[in-house]
């Protein structure tokens, strides 16, 4: 299993692939590959899902150079990191993009 450091490095280096769902979301939300890579460079795990349905995964929060917050749900059981979904956190659901509102 990969460490979070390895996952973030792969994301920052562009060594990732999308699930079909994530690819649709990237297009709908106009998120570029560059933004994904930028957000990974300062990313941190805010939720960990070791017992996720298909494979251990985690929710990563990172910011682009323009300050756009991105959440990436990724897992690393494949050679490349697989992005499951990608979105901007909704302020009605997240406190400072990092903590779920109760």
Give dist(CA 97, CA 71) in Å, integer: 8
Residue 35: the pLDDT is 96
Whether 98 is covered by a domain: the verdict is: no
pLDDT band for position 34 (50/70/90)? very high
Give dist(CA 49, CA 68) in Å, integer: 24
Mean pLDDT of the chain: 92
Whether 99 is covered by a domain: the verdict is: no
- Domain containing 29 equals 4-93
Whether 20 is covered by a domain: the verdict is: yes
Whether 100 is covered by a domain: the verdict is: no
Total structural domains within the chain: 1
Residue 100: the pLDDT is 92
Whether 40 is covered by a domain: the verdict is: yes
Q: What is the mean pLDDT of residues 47-66?
A: 90
pLDDT band for position 101 (50/70/90)? very high
């Amino acid at each position: 299993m990969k460490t979070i450091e390895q996952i973030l490095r792969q994301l920052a280096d562009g060594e990732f692939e999308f699930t079909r769902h994530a690819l649709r979301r990237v297009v709908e939300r106009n998120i570029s590959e560059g933004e994904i890579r930028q957000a990974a460079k300062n990313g941190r795990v805010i939720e960990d899902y070791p017992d996720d349905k298909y494979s251990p995964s985690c929710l990563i929060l990172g910011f682009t150079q323009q300050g756009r917050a991105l959440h990436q749900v990724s897992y690393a059981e494949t050679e490349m990191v697989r992005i499951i979904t990608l979105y901007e956190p909704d302020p009605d659901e997240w406190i400072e993009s990092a903590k779920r509102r109760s």
